């Protein structure tokens, strides 16, 4: 008997234009609810409409023309962090990211700027004009760096003068960690240490490079230590995540095209590289999504080739077979799963394997490690209340472990966790996994953890 399957066809929408969504992906969700316990917003407020299942139900009803895309519906969709923890939890393989991103782009197209309406004009300007540039972000941070080095920052906080700053500026100031000296310009090619085992390209990113330059250099040195020749393309750009998550897909594609040219044509050919290395989870997830982003463009084939080479630094090192570190780090540490590493890229064990190799380091499990810390790109700016709740929740769980250090693989998480750990235990070293690995390779113990290592 032949059964008709026309129930999988979408009904007309209330609006004239539909979001660019494959309706089959919507139908993959069977509404079992196994995703709810993994969703940070649902865990915090218990509202079904703020769960992945609930949001998919809302999107489907809007697409089917059964529900108006009003402010209430938009509010529930806006509150989503797009951490994609639901994808890890889902037994049906629902690709939630490929639903929420184009739906948000659809909302942005219908009402330009709506997703960022809670931000001031200068925050929006910085988000899309300053942060995507490594050089401009470094320049913008110059006053903060100088303030920290001279002690003026400490004086501002202790005197209470910081409270006189505009609230928005004060919030952004509070997100900044201690800033290290930037490395400046670097050679385009770094030779392998010893016999060359691989030839790789290094993706620098934008905000990560400006705020955590020490991690960039540590990443290159770790790769060299493991026998990798490292090429750093001069013309590489921001990954495009800020624009893509902000609903501006067109600009994200322009940025992607620039990166495909930088890594495919301006130096060694892509096929000559063993990998394109990324050390920021948010950037890695975006770069690995280029094939989807560019699928209907003339660069679709180039994007597919690029994605095949994209690797997180921890993923690549474990696949390569890492050189064993020798200098002990006698500390108790824990590890937080960055959402776009654990859920978007499905990378969980490689960072832990690298940390477990470090002599003297005791790695303890972090409760709710897979729950988002609340950073989520620009989320802590656009949804500060929920971001604050999740940041406090994460800091509390880290404090429960009695760890002296917490490691992770994303710039946004580093900033968010460091900010909230100041409230409960400012002595905890918040750092990238690769910072710990390089300390054990080199014996260069960072000042942030030096006393703890000496005590042990």
Q: DSSP of 3-15, one letter per residue?
A: ---GGGSPPPPSS
Residue 108 sits in the same domain as residue 144 = no
What is the average per-residue pLDDT within 404-424? 94
What SS3 class is residue 53?
A: helix
Contact partners, residue 353, CB within 8 Å, separation at least 6: 318
Least Cα distance to 310 among 190, 188, 432, 201 occurs for 201
CA atoms of 456 and 452, how far apart (whole Å): 6
230-275 pLDDT per residue, tens: 999 988 999 998 888 777 788 899 999 999 999 986 666 788 899 9
Residue 361 sits in the same domain as residue 347 = yes
Least Cα distance to 204 among 276, 266, 260 occurs for 276
Could you give the percent of the chain with pLDDT greater than 70? Answer: 89
What is the CATH classification number for the domain harbouring 234? 1.20.1050
pLDDT band at 9 (very low <50, low <70, confident <90, very high): very low
Last residue of a domain, one of 268, 287, 318: 318
Residue 64 sits in the same domain as residue 99 = yes
Last residue of a domain, one of 74, 91, 112: 112
How far does Cα 100 stand from its chain's mean position?
17
Tell me, what DSSP letter sits at residue 38?
A: G
What does the pLDDT read at residue 168? 65
What does the pLDDT read at residue 277? 97
Give me the residue label for tokens 């060299």: 224
- Domain assignment present for residue 224? The answer is yes
Structure tokens at 436: 């710990």
Instruction: Answer yes or no: is pLDDT of 410 > 80.
Output: yes
Full residue range of the structural domain in which residue 411 is found = 324-455
Cβ neighbours of 323 (radius 10 Å): 17
Residue 76 sits in the same domain as residue 126 = no
CA atoms of 27 and 7, how far apart (whole Å): 10
What does the pLDDT read at residue 306? 94
Structure tokens at 106: 């659809």
273-303 pLDDT per residue, tens: 999 999 999 999 999 999 989 988 999 999 9
Cβ neighbours of 143 (radius 10 Å): 11
- Domain assignment present for residue 180? The answer is no
Q: Which helix (H) or strand (E) holds 101?
A: helix 97-110
Instruction: Answer yes or no: is pLDDT of 13 > 70.
Output: no
- Domain assignment present for residue 278? The answer is yes
Burial of 158 (0-12, 13-18, 19+ CB in 10 A): exposed
Strand partners, 230: 190, 200
- Domain assignment present for residue 181? The answer is no
Structure tokens at 63: 């697409």
Instruction: Answer yes or no: is pLDDT of 129 > 90.
Output: no
Region of 120 on the Ramachandran plot (φ > 0 left; ψ -120 to 50 alpha; else beta): beta
Residue 269 sits in the same domain as residue 359 = no
Structure tokens at 62: 């809007």
Structure tokens at 90: 């889902």
Tell me, what DSSP letter sits at residue 335?
A: E
Instruction: Answer yes or no: is pLDDT of 8 > 60.
Output: no
Give me the residue label for tokens 């799963």: 337
Residue 334 sits in the same domain as residue 412 = yes
What is the CATH classification number for the domain harbouring 438? 3.40.50.1860
3-state SS, one letter per residue, for 180-244: CCCCCCCCCEECCCCCCCEEEEECCCCHHHHHCHHHHHHHHHHHHHCCEEEECCCCCCCCCHHHH
Residue 302 sits in the same domain as residue 349 = no
Last residue of a domain, one of 318, 346, 369: 318
352-380: burial string, b at 16+ Cβ within 10 Å, e else? bebbebbeebebeebebbbbbbbbbbbbb
Least Cα distance to 287 among 272, 304, 274 occurs for 304
What does the pLDDT read at residue 210? 87
- Domain assignment present for residue 377? The answer is yes
Residue 302 sits in the same domain as residue 198 = yes
CA atoms of 110 and 314, how far apart (whole Å): 40
Residue 328 sits in the same domain as residue 250 = no
What SS3 class is residue 20?
A: coil
190-208 pLDDT per residue, tens: 999 999 999 999 999 888 8
Strand partners, 278: 312
CA atoms of 301 and 384, how far apart (whole Å): 39
What does the pLDDT read at residue 105? 80
Instruction: Answer yes or no: is pLDDT of 18 > 90.
Output: no
Helices (H), 226-331: 241-245, 249-264, 281-287, 290-293, 300-309, 313-320
Residue pair 26/57 in contact by the 8 Å Cβ criterion: no
CA atoms of 392 and 439, how far apart (whole Å): 28
343-398 pLDDT per residue, tens: 999 999 999 999 999 999 999 999 999 899 998 877 877 888 898 999 999 999 99
- Domain assignment present for residue 5? The answer is no
Residue 275 sits in the same domain as residue 383 = no
Count the domains in the chain.
4
Strand partners, 200: 230, 275
Sign, CA dihedral 355-358-359-361, equals negative
Residue 34 sits in the same domain as residue 149 = no
What does the pLDDT read at residue 14? 40
Residue 87 sits in the same domain as residue 131 = no
pLDDT band at 115 (very low <50, low <70, confident <90, very high): low
Q: Which helix (H) or strand (E) holds 26?
A: helix 23-27
Give me the residue label for tokens 């800091």: 395
- Domain assignment present for residue 397? The answer is yes
Work out the widest C-alpha separation in the chain, in whole angstroms: 81
- Domain assignment present for residue 221? The answer is yes
Residue pair 228/195 in contact by the 8 Å Cβ criterion: no
Tell me, what DSSP letter sits at residue 165?
A: S
């Amino acid at each position: 008997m032949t059964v008709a399957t026309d129930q999988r066809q979408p009904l007309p929408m209330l609006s004239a234009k539909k979001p660019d969504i494959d309706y089959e992906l919507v139908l993959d969700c069977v509404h079992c609810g196994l995703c709810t316990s993994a969703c940070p917003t649902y865990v915090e407020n218990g509202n079904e409409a703020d769960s992945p299942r609930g949001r998919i139900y809302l999107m489907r009803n809007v697409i089917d023309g059964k529900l108006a895309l009003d402010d209430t519906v938009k509010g529930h969709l806006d509150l989503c962090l797009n951490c994609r923890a639901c994808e890890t939890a889902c037994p049906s393989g629902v690709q939630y990211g490929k639903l929420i991103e184009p739906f948000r782009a659809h909302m942005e197209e219908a009402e330009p700027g709506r997703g960022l309406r809670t931000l001031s004009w200068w925050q929006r300007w910085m988000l899309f004009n300053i942060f995507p540039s490594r050089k401009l972000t470094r320049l913008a941070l110059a006053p903060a760096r100088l303030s920290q080095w001279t002690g003026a920052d400490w004086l501002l906080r202790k005197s209470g003068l910081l409270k006189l700053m505009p609230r928005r500026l004060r919030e952004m100031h509070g997100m900044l960690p201690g800033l290290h000296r930037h490395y400046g310009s670097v050679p385009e090619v770094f030779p392998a240490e010893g016999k060359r085992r691989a030839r790789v390209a290094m993706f620098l990113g934008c905000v990560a490079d400006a705020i955590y330059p020490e991690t960039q250099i540590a990443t290159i040195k770790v790769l060299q230590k493991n026998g990798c020749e490292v090429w750093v393309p001069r013309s590489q750009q921001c990954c495009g995540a800020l624009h893509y998550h902000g609903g501006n897909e067109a600009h994200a594609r322009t940025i992607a095209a620039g990166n495909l040219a930088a890594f495919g044509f301006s130096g060694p050919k892509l096929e000559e590289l063993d990998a394109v290395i990324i050390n920021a989870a948010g950037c890695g997830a975006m770069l690995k999504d280029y094939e989807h982003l560019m699928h209907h463009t003339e660069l679709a084939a180039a994007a597919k080739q690029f994605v095949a080479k994209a690797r997180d630094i921890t993923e690549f090192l474990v696949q390569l077979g890492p050189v064993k570190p020798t200098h002990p780090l006698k500390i108790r540490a824990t590890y937080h799963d960055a959402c776009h590493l654990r859920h978007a890229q499905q990378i969980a064990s490689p960072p832990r394997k690298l940390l477990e190799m470090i002599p003297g380091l005791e790695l303890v499990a972090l409760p709710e490690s897979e729950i988002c810390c609340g950073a989520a790109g620009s989320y802590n700016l656009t949804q500060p209340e929920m971001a604050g709740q999740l940041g406090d929740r994460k800091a509390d769980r880290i404090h429960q472990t009695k760890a002296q250090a917490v490691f992770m693989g994303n710039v946004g998480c580093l900033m968010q966790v460091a900010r909230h750990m100041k409230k409960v235990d400012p002595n905890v070293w918040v750092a990238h996994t690769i910072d710990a690995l390089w300390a054990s390779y080199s014996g260069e113990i960072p000042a942030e953890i030096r006393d703890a290592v000496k005590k042990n």
